[in-house]
Amino acid sequence: MSVTIRPIEAKDKEEWLNLWTGPGGYIEFYKAQSAITPEISDTTFARFLDPTVPMYSAVAVDDSTGKVIGFANYLAHLNTWTVEDTMYLNDLFVSADNRLHGVGRKLIEHVYAETDKLGCKKCYWMTQFENHRAQLLYTKVGVKGGFLAYFRPGDI
């Protein structure tokens, strides 16, 4: 499978939204349908296109069809442990019928390149404990940090 990874563009909104909130999409996978409103989705997408906001998205495009088949949403932020910003890979998703073809790896490698390009010191992400399939990739392209995430009650 030949895939191109590129920054998201305004023309990608419909396909991104379908992968983001559509049937079998990212939000459904994380069982967060009730938490993500159209306003949140629209605001998130607008942030990707705003050059003053350090939030980005890259899409994976199937070269044979021209369709968006995956995305990586990431953001740079300040960190108390470094002078430089840190990159957080917030969301990574590849459509179910395009998995196991190296698309997720290419998206992560793109984020790594953006981390370096933007002068960020570190890059990290989180996943659910039960997301074993993704972890098979993550252990090949990253190092498990050993931290657990905690949230204020009611925030997840």
Tell me the per-residue pLDDT of 124-145, one tens digit each, with 9 for 90 and over.
Answer: 999 888 888 888 889 999 998 8
Q: Is 111 exposed, middle or buried (0-12, 13-18, 19+ CB in 10 A)?
A: buried
pLDDT at 47: 98
Q: Is-contact 62 11, C-beta < 8 A? A: no
Q: Is-contact 104 140, C-beta < 8 A? A: no
Give the C-alpha separation, 79 to 99, whole Å.
33
pLDDT at 153: 86
**Predicted TM-score of the model (pTM):** 0.93
pLDDT at 140: 92
Please report, for residues 33, 58, 101, 110, 113, the alpha-carbon distance to residue 106 in angstroms, rounded to integers and kept in the order given: 27, 10, 10, 6, 10
pLDDT at 156: 66
Residues of the chain with pLDDT under 50: none
62 bridge partner residues? 3
Element (DSSP H or E) covering residue 113: helix 103-117
Q: Which CATH number fits domain 3-141: 3.40.630.30, 3.60.40.10, 3.40.50.80, 3.30.360.10?
A: 3.40.630.30
Q: Is-contact 7 57, C-beta < 8 A? A: yes
